[in-house]
Amino acid sequence: MNQNTKEFFMSEAIRLAKENVITGNGGPFGAVIVKNGEIIATGVNSVTSSNDPTAHAEVSAIRNACKKLNSFQLDSCEIYSSCEPCPMCLGAIYWARPQKLYFACTKTDAANIGFDDSFIYEEINTGFDKRKIQSENIFREEGLEAFQEWKAKDDKIEY
């Protein structure tokens, strides 16, 4: 397979996902991040082995790529994930702002093997006061003081 195609990069993400099942490192998920036609970082799911519920393949790959680029933005990068990102990973992708996302399995496929992705997508669309994890809004006025202080700060780094 030509090593500079979307099919090659996705096959790498899937290879990492399969390897992750064999090693027992975590769930069957892998991701690679590509810039200028080269893989600059990879990530696998290591939730259970690292005791980190945020250590999904995409989040890990984003962290690794940003470290490599010394940047909190993935300008001109592409993310290849072996599965459609869960809301956490999709959010992480939006904050990292890559150029394009490719994914293989869908969130329904993930739900079919027991992962909560679809459930979390549903919960996000439910009002916070009706969610399965009970949520309560308190101290908004006090919280807004921090936002005012941010707004007034001259030398802040925005993102």
Q: 29-68: which residues touch its own copies (CB under 8 A)?
A: 29-30, 47-48, 51-54, 59, 62-63, 66-67
Q: What's the angle, vertex CA 63, arms to CA 60 and CA 65, rounded to 5?
A: 105
Shortest CB 38 distance to its own copies, Å: 19
CA dihedral of 59, 130, 105, 15, whole degrees rounded to 10: 30
When asked if residue 130 is in the footprint of its own copies (CB under 8 A), the reply is no
Q: What's the angle, vertex CA 86, arms to CA 39 and CA 139, rounded to 5?
A: 120
Task: Give yes or no: 58 in active site.
Answer: yes
When asked if residue 127 is in the footprint of its own copies (CB under 8 A), the reply is no
Q: How far apart are CA 33 and CA 16, in angstroms?
A: 13
Shortest CB 18 distance to its own copies, Å: 5
When asked if residue 142 is in the footprint of its own copies (CB under 8 A), the reply is yes
Reduce the DSSP state of residue 81 to 3 states and report it.
strand
- List binders of its own copies among 65-94 (CB under 8 A): 66-67, 69-74, 82-84, 86-94
Shortest CB 13 distance to its own copies, Å: 8
Q: How far apart are CA 45 and CA 139, in angstroms?
A: 36
Q: How many residues sit close enough to its own copies to count as binding (CB under 8 A)?
A: 91
Catalytic residues: 58
